[in-house]
A and B are shown apart, each in its own frame.
Chain A
């Protein structure tokens, strides 16, 4: 496990560039730091839990542990249904639990974000307040929002992704 963490940390910062996992949600591009992603798994309907927060779908077993499965669409107030085959990013160190599963529409690829390629976000990007964003970059001519998922997943405030 320690080896894996070391490898991820090294992969997360090569030559000053931060490696991020690029994913899509409701037609927009987002990124999360590679070092926070333990694995990417296929989505399976999770077991329901009582009185769960609106954005939590339930729990799923993962390597003998149980993950809360958080739907990022619901966290961002997107009412449109998710695609038929979404992906789950298994993230660590982004909330009160050691690991959490984050449902996103599609995982695209890993790409390096050089420090000079990341801009400070304006007050809002796609309706998301700057406090939930680590930076904004350009990915093949399209805006890419690098999310601060620790804040997104621990804050109780509503976050609304605009169409």
Chain B
């Protein structure tokens, strides 16, 4: 039994390597564990001195002052309905591209980077969230924890973000 298990390992390793892995930045929003593809990620910023949170805190989309430009910033905790009273000190802004325009995501904490097999990303059950399924690419597991892979294009295509771009 022991020998059989050991003999299988190299083959499984080769099979895993044959599949192109996608690098994903892991982050947390409230009690939700999430990820976003590194390919669409431009920069990770500290919210201090970068964001101008002039809009009411309950508004999902606000303005991000970035190198002389105003970009839309999605408060992920507000979108997810898990917003705390204050932005936590671990909060970060993930600067991504969605719908071919730059977009900031205000998240509670960045957890790290992981390799994800795209073939193991499964769809989010319809009953699991009241949010539009276009906001999610799916779910994946890592170290017994389930992560939600957000869709850059889905977030960039949100009505609130489109309205910001128009204004």
A interface with B by C-beta (< 8 Å): 46-53, 56, 58-61, 64-68, 70, 95-97, 100, 153
B148: chain A residues within 8 A (beta carbon):
47, 49-50
Q: Identify which of B33, B123, B130 contacts A52 (C-beta below 8 A).
A: B130
B interface with A by C-beta (< 8 Å): 29-33, 79-82, 120, 122-131, 139, 141, 145-148
Do A97 and B32 touch across chains, with their CB atoms under 8 A apart? no
B30: chain A residues within 8 A (beta carbon):
48, 50
Which secondary structure characterizes the binding site on chain B? mixed
Q: A50-B29, A51-B81 are in contact. Are A56 and B146 (CB under 8 A)?
A: no
Closest 10 pairs between A and B when the two form their complex, measured CB to CB: A50-B80, A47-B146, A68-B127, A68-B125, A96-B126, A68-B128, A48-B31, A97-B125, A49-B128, A51-B130
Residue of B nearest to A70 (CB): B127
B120: chain A residues within 8 A (beta carbon):
64
B125: chain A residues within 8 A (beta carbon):
59, 66-68, 97, 100
Output the least CB separation between B160 and chain A (Å).
14
Do A95 and B146 touch across chains, with their CB atoms under 8 A apart? no
Do A56 and B127 touch across chains, with their CB atoms under 8 A apart? yes
Q: Identify which of A47, A68, A70, A95 contacts B33 (C-beta below 8 A).
A: A47
Q: A48-B31, A50-B79, A65-B122 are in contact. Are A153 and B127 (CB under 8 A)?
A: yes
